[in-house]
Each structure stands twice: as C-alpha cells, then as structure tokens.
C-alpha cells in the first residue's frame, strides 16, 4: 500500500529558514562513515568480549529473576559508526569562531548505532532537516560512566542531545523537541490538543508496552544468554495484538499522516522483524509497517534504522544458534 500525496507533501523538507537563524538543508546529511581502522578494531573487540561474557555488561540492570530493567542505554556496542575525530583545541576554536560570527553549531547527539531510541531520534532529525554532530557513546567501554557525561546526563543514558548548551535525554522528548524547535510545521507532532494527545498516547504505548515487551523477552538472552521465556513471549504477542487493534482502519498510528509516534513504533517493530518475530497474525501491523517504511525511506530508514536493527538481529542469532 502506498502513501497518500498529502502525506508526502507534509514530509517536504525544502530549504526553509527556522526561527533561530538555522537554515534547513534540502540535501540530506552524508551517510554515516565507518570508524578509522584502529577504532573499528577496538569496537569489534568490545563486541566479541560482550559475546563471550555478557554477564559483565555494565548497562543492564536486573529485576525480577534476571529480567533486565528497561534502560535506553541497554543496547549492544556497534562495529561501524561515524566518528568525528577532532582534538579539543580544534573543537574549542571552532566554537569560538562560531560565537563571533553568530552561526550556530550543529547539534551534538550522543548515540550508538544499534540503539533503537537513538535510531528514532536520528531519523526524526533527518526529516526535520536538523544537522547532527554525531558523537559515539560506547557504553560497553564505559563512556556513559565518565564524569563529564554524568554531569551532562545524570541518568547516563543514550541518546543525549546537546543543542548549544541545552541538554536533553530520552528519545521521545528529543524527537518532540526537534519538531517543536525546528520543524517548519507541526505535522510530525500536531499542536492541536486532541491530535497531540493521540500521538503522545502512542509514544507512551511504545515506551511502556511494546518496546518494554521486546526488552523483557529478548534482552535476557542477548545480554545474559538466559533462555527465552515463553510467558514473556505471550505477553509480547498480546501487546502486538493491541497495536494491531489500534491500527485498524488507520493509515498511520495517530491519523492519516506520519508522526513521531510512527517513527518510534516502527523502530520497535523493525527490531521484532530483525528478531524474526512472526507478524503474519497481525495484518494491520504489517500493512502499517510497510507504509511507514515507505514514508521513511527518503530519510535514512535503511542507513540509520535498518543497519542498527540488523546488528541486533545478528547478535540474537549468535546466542540462539
């Protein structure tokens, strides 16, 4: 099924100035580049160490018989990511020059490629036209436990945003902020109270039910090699069934056009797809997922999201055989 012309129109990211003087770019940011060879090797070793000793993972908090507590930093380390390898002196001088000229610097986003919340925030930025300065936060090497990071984000989670001194974490508020602050309109996050309430409800459903269910069923195996729990699978299937009902008769999750709720939900469902969860009993979810992927295709779905989902799928397969 295709996207309506009106939906595509709402996603137009033409060259439009924003309130703070930042100019939106029609051209998409360049593809993420791989790590320099030495850093790629270091990340690869981290990945291998985690596979050998997942119980040493510093970012998973156990609750109720080994079930990990949902933590947006609870994701695997990537092997190929973009790194801006600049020394402190150059960074400081660039910021100083920007201050003098009055030009705002790109927004810093601390992230990891496999992280579902990070992927959702990055795709939203791409749609809105916000230029990101991506900064890898390798939680497997303890980057999130460093003093400077803790001062910036006391929860020590990813993604974390630094917009020229404005600090924000948690992916869904970051997505809303991008639209509120830099969007040329409110189509992705409507200002109408009732329309926005629906979007918020879908976001909270994703955070507290769908994504949480994915974490509870799959992450014990991924991070601790704990056998998959059939009861957790039943709970997850029930949650996907609720999403199927929500989507009945709807083009998108909160209306007739794409919103940040669809982005967040689609990233979660892409993990299910990568984990080979059977979506056949949920026709509304399948049809909506195809529409949403189609709508997100021009904004880095493959580059930003599918790459990370594939990493998660591969890691699960390495544990289950």
Query: Active-site residue 115, yes or no?
Result: yes
Helix, strand, coil % over all residues of the chain, rounded to 5: 55, 10, 35
Task: Quickly list DSSP for 276-295.
Answer: T---TT-HHHHHHHHHHHHH
Instruction: Please answer whether residues 308 and 317 qualify as being in contact, where contact means their C-beta atoms are separated by less than 8 angstroms.
Output: no
* Euclidean distance between CA atoms 140 and 143, whole angstroms: 8
Report phi then psi at 55, rounded to 5. Answer: -70, -15
Cis peptide upstream of residue 159 (ω within 30 degrees of 0): yes
Report phi then psi at 247, rounded to 5. Answer: -85, -5
Buried/exposed code over 238-258 (b: 16+ C-beta within 10 A; e: otherwise): ebbeebbebbeeebbbbbebb
Report phi then psi at 23, rounded to 5. Answer: -105, 130
- Considering Cα of 62, then 65, then 69, then 74, what sign does the dihedral take? positive
Q: Give me 310's structure tokens.
A: 């594939």
- Counting DSSP H helices and E strands in the chain, the numbers are 12, 6
* Euclidean distance between CA atoms 301 and 316, whole angstroms: 21
**Of 57, 73, 115, 264, which one is the catalytic site residue?**
115
Q: Which residues pair with 163 in a beta bridge?
A: 166
Which residues are known catalytic residues? 115
């Amino acid at each position: 099924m295709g996207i309506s012309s009106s939906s595509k129109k709402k996603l137009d990211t033409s060259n439009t100035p924003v309130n703070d003087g930042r100019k939106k770019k029609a051209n998409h940011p360049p593809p993420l580049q791989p790590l320099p060879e030495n850093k790629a090797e270091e990340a690869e070793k981290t990945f291998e160490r985690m596979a050998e000793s997942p119980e040493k993972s510093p970012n998973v908090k156990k609750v109720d018989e080994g079930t990990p507590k949902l933590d947006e930093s609870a994701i695997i380390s990537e092997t190929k990511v973009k790194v801006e390898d600049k020394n402190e002196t150059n960074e400081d001088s660039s910021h100083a020059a920007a201050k003098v000229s009055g030009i705002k610097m790109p927004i810093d986003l601390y992230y990891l490629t496999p992280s579902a919340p990070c992927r959702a925030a990055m795709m939203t930025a791409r749609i809105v036209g916000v230029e990101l300065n991506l900064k890898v936060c390798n939680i497997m090497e303890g980057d999130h436990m460093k003093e400077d990071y803790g001062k910036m984000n006391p929860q020590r989670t990813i993604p974390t945003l630094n917009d020229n001194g404005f600090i924000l974490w948690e992916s869904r508020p970051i997505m809303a902020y991008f639209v509120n602050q830099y969007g040329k309109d409110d189509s992705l996050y409507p200002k109408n109270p009732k329309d926005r309430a629906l979007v918020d409800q879908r976001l909270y459903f994703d955070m507290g039910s769908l994504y949480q269910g994915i974490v509870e069923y799959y992450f014990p195996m991924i991070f601790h090699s704990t056998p998959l729990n059939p009861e957790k699978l039943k709970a997850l299937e029930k949650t996907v069934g609720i999403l199927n009902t929500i989507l009945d008769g709807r083009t998108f999750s909160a209306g007739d056009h794409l919103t940040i709720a669809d982005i967040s939900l689609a990233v979660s469902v892409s993990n299910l797809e990568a984990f080979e969860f059977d979506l056949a009993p949920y026709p509304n979810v399948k049809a909506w997922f195809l529409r949403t992927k189609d709508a997100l295709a021009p904004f880095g779905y493959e580059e930003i999201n599918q790459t990370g989902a594939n990493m998660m799928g591969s890691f699960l397969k390495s544990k289950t055989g």
